[in-house]
Amino acid sequence: MAAKDFALPDLGEGLTESELVSWHVAVGDTVELNQPLAEVETAKALVELPSPFAGVITKLYAEAGTTVQVGAPIVAFELEGSEGDSAGSSDAAKPEREPVLVGYGPPIEGDGRPARRARKGTSKAPTPAPAPAPDPHLKVEVVPPPASQTSLPIERVETPRSTPPVRKLARDLGIDLATVIGTGDKGLITREDVEAAVSGGSLRDAGKAGSSGSGTRRAETGERETRTPIQGVRKYTAAAMVQSAFTAPHASEFLTIDVTPTMELIATLKESSAFRGRRLNLLTVVSKALCIAVGRNPSVNTRWDEQAQEIVQFHYVNLGIATATPRGLMVPNIKDADALDLVGLADELSALVETAKAGTASPADLAGGTVSITNIGSFGIDAGTPILNTGEAMILALGAVKRMPWEYRGEIALRQVLTLSVSFDHRLVDGEQGSRFLADVGAILANPAVLLTMV
Point out the residues that are catalytic.
426
Amino acid at 270: K
Rounded CA-CA distance 96/360 in Å is 28
Contact 440, 454 (CB under 8 A): yes
Q: What is the β-pairing status of strands 36-41 and 46-50?
A: antiparallel
* Secondary structure of residue 313 in the 3-state scheme: strand
Rounded CA-CA distance 231/42 in Å is 9
Closest CA to 259 of 450, 411, 431: 450
Rounded CA-CA distance 432/375 in Å is 24
Which residues have CB under 8 Å from 190's CB, separation 6+?
A: 162, 166, 182, 183, 184
DSSP 442: H
For helices 431-446 and 260-270, angle between their N-to-C axes, nearest 10 degrees: 50
Rounded CA-CA distance 95/83 in Å is 16
Rounded CA-CA distance 157/135 in Å is 9
Using a CB cutoff of 8 Å and minimum separation of 24, what contacts does 111-117 make?
Answer: 114/364, 116/335, 116/364, 117/335, 117/362, 117/364, 117/365
Which residues have CB under 8 Å from 155's CB, separation 6+?
A: 139, 140, 141, 142
Rounded CA-CA distance 203/214 in Å is 13
Rounded CA-CA distance 165/171 in Å is 10
